[in-house]
Amino acid sequence: MSFFIRGRGNTQKPNKKVKRKSAPLQNALPSKKKKSFIQDEEITSDEDEVTFKKQEVEFVEESAQEKKIRLAQQFLDELKREKENEVEDEEDVIRAVGQKLKEDVLEASGRLQQTVADEYIVPDLDSIKVSKCKAHKLSLTCLALTHDEKYIFTASKDWSIEGQKLSASGDCDGIINIWEAESLKHLRTFTKHRGAVSGLCFRKGSHTLYSCSHDRMVMIWNLDVMAFADNLGGHQDAITGIDSLYRESCITCGGRDEMVIVYVIIEEKQLRFSAFQSSIDGVKLINERTFVTYGQNGSLALWTTLKKKPHSVIPAAHGKNPENNEPFWLTSVASLVNTDVIASGSSDGFVRLWKVDHSRRKLEEMFSIPVKGVVNGLEFTPSGTHLIAAVGQEHKLGRWFTEKSAKNSL
């Protein structure tokens, strides 16, 4: 420190001894040529840095607002070209683009409601197609569809997976496997769950994966970087079902803890609902605010996030088993997202379609389709033109009953 601070009151001039030493120091300085070389080298380095920064600003930097404008303009141009092929008049094109944008905003916020139930009619038996996969030797347990309706994926009790676009699968050892889309090449294994993986779902339009397990935990995975993101608690018993749509949230049901929980992840809060059923086996979102639950007591319940109890409950939705006078278990439910149509499956030999009356918040049966066997999985195609059912001889979780005359098929 004393090297940089002058002594107090030191106003005297330097003595001669110091002056005599200054001359040799000057002679010891580098030559003029060498000094010039050092200066040129420093200037060149500064100029290169300034040039690089200018290029970075000019070609790399883009503000968030500019990026939003560019992507929005690109989206509008693509949407306009799409509508121009359908409509010739310029005003009709603009109107169609505006309507599409409005629907996208409502869909993303969970407020889009399309009434299509009255357009559905009972299908002819000849129009029902049955597909049997040779790779599946036992009962099918689940199914999934791609958004473009090009591929269907199934899994069965013989541990086999069929399909060409499957992204994730879980097993009873708590292991989640991530697969490449078309080749089913194994990419990554996640092993953080300590119990059987009971449900997997993707947040729509993203690579965020939600998983639930019998260890009572919900976990979030970011498949963009193939890494674990977060875990969520709250259930008191094994989680039996999970679902998600567009928002950064997911919904789960907790089996025998008789609880349904909506995890609002971005706000770090939970919405809890009490079901008062013997066991809730599954949950399905109709839109971001409306969902249905089903379980072993055979009841089908309609809920909204505005009320802690169900608005409407249909007991023994698939009737009662004449052998023991007990309601048929509901084994699967599918919803046509943002509409007023859902479907339910059981082991009574029928798939039933229901109309959701959003104004009165009630469920009304539309018609039933004969299907022999246990319906372990149901999915609507995104367009709503087809309903796919995964059928087996046994229940997906056990062998409480067996329908030997049924085929393990799709």
- 272 shares a domain with 130: yes
User: Which of 99-113, 162-176, 218-232 is predicted most confidently?
Assistant: 218-232
- 344 shares a domain with 226: yes
379 assigned to some structural domain: yes
- 182 shares a domain with 71: no
177 assigned to some structural domain: yes
d(C-alpha 392, C-alpha 132), whole Å:
11
3 assigned to some structural domain: no
- 226 shares a domain with 280: yes
| pLDDT higher than threshold 70 for residue 399 | yes
pLDDT tens digits, 341-369: 999 999 898 999 999 998 888 999 999 99
pLDDT tens digits, 50-109: 554 444 444 456 677 777 777 777 777 777 777 666 666 666 667 777 777 777 777 666
| pLDDT higher than threshold 60 for residue 250 | yes
pLDDT band at 147; cut points 50, 70, 90: confident
> Does residue 167 or residue 194 have the better pLDDT?
194
**Which pLDDT value is given to residue 328?**
92
Instruction: Write down the pTM of the prediction.
Output: 0.73
**Of the ranges 28-37, 245-254, 364-373, which one carries the lowest mean pLDDT score?**
28-37
Residues 263 and 245 sit within 8 Å (Cβ to Cβ): no
**Which pLDDT value is given to residue 56?**
46
**Which pLDDT value is given to residue 38?**
43
406 assigned to some structural domain: no
Query: Average pLDDT for residues 22-27, to the nearest whole number?
Result: 45
Structurally, the chain folds into a number of domains equal to: 3
| pLDDT higher than threshold 70 for residue 334 | yes
**Which pLDDT value is given to residue 21?**
46
**Which pLDDT value is given to residue 64?**
73
| pLDDT higher than threshold 80 for residue 340 | yes
The enclosing domain of 182 has a CATH number of 2.130.10.10
Query: Which of these, 173, 182, 186, lies nearest to 226 by C-alpha position?
Result: 186
User: Which of 96-100, 140-144, 222-226 is predicted most confidently?
Assistant: 222-226
- 350 shares a domain with 297: yes
Helix axes 90-109 and 64-84, enclosed angle (nearest 10): 120
**Which pLDDT value is given to residue 230?**
92
Q: Give the amino acid at 375.
A: V
- 76 shares a domain with 53: no
**Which pLDDT value is given to residue 57?**
45
pLDDT band at 161; cut points 50, 70, 90: low
User: Range of 43's domain?
Assistant: 25-59
User: Which of 63-72, 152-161, 175-184 is predicted most confidently?
Assistant: 175-184
- 165 shares a domain with 43: no
Q: Tokens 């007990």 label which residue?
A: 326
148 assigned to some structural domain: yes
| pLDDT higher than threshold 50 for residue 42 | no
pLDDT tens digits, 275-328: 766 788 899 999 999 999 998 889 999 999 989 889 999 999 999 988 888 999
| pLDDT higher than threshold 80 for residue 1 | no
- 121 shares a domain with 104: no
| Residue 164 Cα distances to 6, 138, 209, 379, angstroms | 80, 20, 19, 17
Q: 3-state secondary structure string, the chain?
A: CCCCCCCCCCCCCCCHHHHHHHHHHHHCCCCHHHHHHHHHHHHHHHHHHHHHHHHHHHHCCCCHHHHHHHHHHHHHHHHHHHHHCCCCCHHHHHHHHHHHHHHHHHHHHCCCCECCHHHCCCCCHHHCCCCCCCCCCCCEEEEEECCCCCCEEEEECCCCEECCCCCEEECCCCCEEEECCCCCCEEEEECCCCCCEEEEEECCCCCEEEEEECCCCEEEEECCCCEEEEEECCCCCCCCEEECCCCCEEEEECECCCEEEEEEHHHCEEEEEECCCCCEEEEEECCCCEEEEEECCCCEEEEECCCCCCCEEECCCCCECCCCCCECCCCEEEECCCECEEEEECCCCEEEEEEEECCCCEEEEEEEEECCCEEEEEEECCCCCCEEEEEECECCCCCCCECCCCCCEC
- 301 shares a domain with 199: yes
- 151 shares a domain with 85: no
**Of the ranges 116-130, 153-167, 216-230, 344-358, which one carries the lowest mean pLDDT score?**
153-167
Residues 177 and 209 sit within 8 Å (Cβ to Cβ): no
pLDDT tens digits, 181-190: 677 788 889 9
> What average pLDDT does the structure give for the chain?
79
| pLDDT higher than threshold 50 for residue 27 | no
403 assigned to some structural domain: no
- 153 shares a domain with 85: no
d(C-alpha 359, C-alpha 178), whole Å:
41
275 assigned to some structural domain: yes
**Which pLDDT value is given to residue 54?**
47
400 assigned to some structural domain: no
Structure-token pair, residue 409: 């098929």
- 250 shares a domain with 207: yes
